Chains A and B, each alone.
Chain A
C-alpha cells in the first residue's frame, strides 16, 4: 500500500496516470482506511482508468464488474452451476442407487439423499461472479465496480452488505467472509443519485476536467512526439469548447486523439481549414460541430489579432495571471 500522498502521485505517474493532489489524497486515504472510493465526474476524465492503474501501481489483480440495468445477484455475486450439478447426478446415478439400496419406503430414501445433499451444494458447484471472486481471492485485489449508477436500486442495496462488512451470505453455505479486504473503486456518471447509505460507506471523489497545465502534462506523457506549441493551442481551445453547451463535451481521450491526429498530419499550428477538417475527432454530434465552429472562428480571430501585436499581448497576459 501507499505510504504517503506523494507516493500515490509518483506511483500512479509510473503507471502513466497523472492525477491532481486532490485525487491522490483521496486514493491514499482510501487505501489507508480500507474504504471504498466512489468516483464521480463527467464522462472521459479517467474514472475507470483510476481503478485500472491502481491495480497496476499496487501490483494487485483487477476484478471488474460492469453494471447495467437489470444486473442481479446471480451475475454479480454467485450462481449455482446448474448444468454441472445435473451432469454429476447423471454420472453418479449408479452411486446414488447404491446409497438408496435397501431403503424401506420413500421417506427413508429421501432421508438418505438429504444426508448427501451437501455434496451438491458445495464450493465445487458454486460459480463465483466478480464480487465473490474479489472476496474469496487468496491475495488482496482491486475491485472496480464500473458505472454503478446504471444498476437498479435493489442491486445497490445489496452492494451495501458487501461493502460494509465484506461478507456475503449464501443460504446453502452460510456466510462467506472476505479473506482480504479488496480496494473497491466505484464509478458513477451520475445518471441517478446514489443512496445515502451507499455514499456514507464510501469516500467521495469528484474528478473534473483537468486544468490546462495538467492536461498538457497528460499529452506530453501519452503523445510523446507532439509539438509543445500545438498541444498548448489544442488544450486552450478545448477548454473553451468545454464551456459551451454541448451534447457531449470533449474529454481527455478526445484531446489526445486530436493531438495524435494533428501530429500525424505533421501540423505545427492550428488554422481555420485544418481545424474544420479534423474537428470530427473531437465532436461526436453534428449540432455540436456547428456550435464549435462558431466558437472556433472567434478564437482564431482573437489569436490572429494577438499574433499581430505581440507586445500588447504580453502585457495583457501579465496582469491576467
Chain B
C-alpha cells in the first residue's frame, strides 16, 4: 500500500498540489488506522492527510478516480444517461438488456465479443478489452498525443467493425418482427452504445496520458485565475472574480485599518510637549504625541471600457466600490471616446448591477474607437471640479490612443491639482510605447504607473500601497 500512496502523491505533485513527506507519512498512518476496506472512508482519510486547500479538492477527486478506480464510474454514468434518454426505469432497462442478450445469443458467432459485451451492458468486459488494446498500443507506439492514442486504441478494438455490426444488427431487428416501438428503442440504444464506446476510448486515452503528461496540468496551473490575464477571462471566471474581489477588499480594509490603528500614536510633538509642561517648570512630565489626522481621500476613477481592457475595468470598479467606505467620496467615469460619469449608477443600484450598467454602454457609446485624448479633454471641460487637492485620481487603461491627439496636458493639469495620479495598465509593460500606445507620454505625468494584468499583480500592488 505504501508504494501506492507514494506513487499517488507523486501524481498529485505533478498536477500542482504540494504534498510533502510528512503528509505522505500521515496518509500512511491514517490508512493503518481506518484500513482500506471502505472506499469512502479510504478516500476521505487520504484527502484529509494530503490535500490542504479546498481548491485542490477537485483535482484530488479526479486523480483519485483516475488512480484508484477504473472506468467503472464513467460507464455507470453512461448507463444512467441512457436510461434517461430512453425514458426507461432501471427495471425496464434491465428487461431490455436481457431481451437483447437473448437476441444476440441466437446470432452467436456472427458477432464480435466486444460488440456483444457492449450491447449487453457488460462494461467490465468492455473495459478489460479496451485496456488490453491500450497497453498493446502503448508498447508499440509510445509517446502518442491523446488524439492519436485514442485512434490507435480504436483501431485495435476495431471500432469500424463494431459500427458495421451494429448497423447490420439494426437491420436484423427490423426483420425480426418485434414491435416497432421496441425496435425503435433498441435501435436508439445501440446507437447510443456506439457513442459510449467511443467516449470510453477517448476517456481511457486521456486518462492514460494524464497520468504521464504533467504538461497539461502545468498549463492548467498557469491558467489558474490569479495568474490569468484579465483579457482571457471567461464568463465563469468573472463569476468567480466577484468572490475574489470581496476577499481582496477585506484584505485591503484590514491592512489599512491596522495601519491606521498602529499609526494613531505618532511621534513626539516637541512644541506641544513643551507648552504643556511649562506648568511643571519645563520638566517633560506629560508627553504630548502628534496625532495623525484621519485621512480619507477622495477618489476619482477614470476607466477605459473599450473591449481590450473591459475586464480589468470591471474588476477595478468593483474593487473600488467594495472598499468605498475607506474613502470620503468616490466619483467614477467611464470612457472610450466619449466620457461619462457613472457615479450615480452606483448610488442607485446594487454593486454588480451598477458595474454591468456602467460597462454596457448605458452612459456612453462603447462601440467607438478608443480616444484617450478626446476623453481627457471632455473630462477637463465638463468635470474639472471633481478634482480637488485631496483627490487621488486612478486611471485604468492601456493608453492605446489609435494615433489620436494624446492631450497629455490634461494629465499634467490633474497632477498639478490633485493629490496623486495613479495609472494602472492591464497591458504588459514590454508593449508600452509600441504601436499606438501613448503610455510613455502619459506615464511621465503620473505619480505611480503600474502594470496590472492579473489578480496576482493587483494583490502585490495593494500590499505595497497598504504596507
Contacts and interface: CB of A to CB of B under 8 A. Distances in A.
A264 interface: no
B380 to A, nearest CB: 36
B242 interface: yes
Interface residues on B, range: 35 or more
A204 B48 contact: yes
A282 to B, nearest CB: 18
A28 interface: yes
Interface string B79-114: 000011001110000000000000000000000000
A22 B40 contact: yes
Interface residues of A, number: 33
Contacts of A38: 52
A25 B27 CA distance: 13
A294 interface: no
Contacts of A33: 26, 29-30, 33
Nearest to A22: B44
Contact of A191 (B89, B250, B257, B350): B250
A206 B54 contact: yes
B278 interface: no
Nearest to A41: B54
Contacts of B250: 191
A201 B47 CA distance: 14
Given A5-B41, A38-B52, A200-B20, A29 B30 contact: yes
Contacts of A196: 18, 52
A267 to B, nearest CB: 30
A5 B29 CA distance: 15
B48 A29 contact: yes
B357 interface: no
Given A40-B54, A203-B49, A287-B350, A29 B40 contact: no
Contacts of B29: 33
Nearest to B22: A200
Contacts of A26: 44-45, 48
Main SS at interface, chain B: helix
A124 interface: no
B51 A245 contact: no
Contacts of B257: 69
Contacts of A35: 26
Most chain A beta-carbon contacts within 10 A, residue among B29, B54, B57, B250: B54
A21 B40 contact: yes
Contacts of B89: 318-319
Interface in A12-60: 21-22, 25-26, 28-29, 32-33, 35, 38, 40-41
Given A33-B26, A192-B251, A318-B89, A28 B49 contact: no
Interface in A181-206: 190-193, 196, 199-206
Interface in A149-201: 190-193, 196, 199-201
B51 A70 contact: no
B87 A319 contact: yes
Contacts of A190: 54, 247
Contacts of A22: 40, 44
B47 A204 contact: yes
A21 B53 contact: no
Contacts of B53: 193, 199, 204
B258 A69 contact: yes
Contacts of A193: 53
B20 A70 contact: no
Nearest to A26: B48
Given A5-B41, A25-B41, A287-B350, A245 B242 contact: yes
A271 to B, nearest CB: 27
Contact of B51 (A5, A28, A29, A204): A204
12 contacts: A5-B34, A22-B40, A25-B45, A29-B34, A33-B29, A35-B26, A70-B261, A199-B53, A200-B23, A204-B52, A245-B242, A319-B89
Given A28-B33, A35-B26, 7 more contacts: A25-B34, A25-B41, A25-B44, A29-B48, A70-B258, A245-B352, A319-B88
Interface of A: 5, 21-22, 25-26, 28-29, 32-33, 35, 38, 40-41, 69-70, 190-193, 196, 199-206, 245, 287, 318-320
Interface of B: 18, 20, 22-23, 26, 29-30, 33-34, 40-41, 44-45, 47-49, 51-54, 57, 83-84, 87-89, 239, 242, 247, 250-251, 254, 257-258, 261, 350, 352
By Cβ-Cβ distance, the 7 closest A-B pairs, closest first, are A199-B52, A22-B44, A203-B48, A26-B48, A287-B350, A25-B44, A204-B52
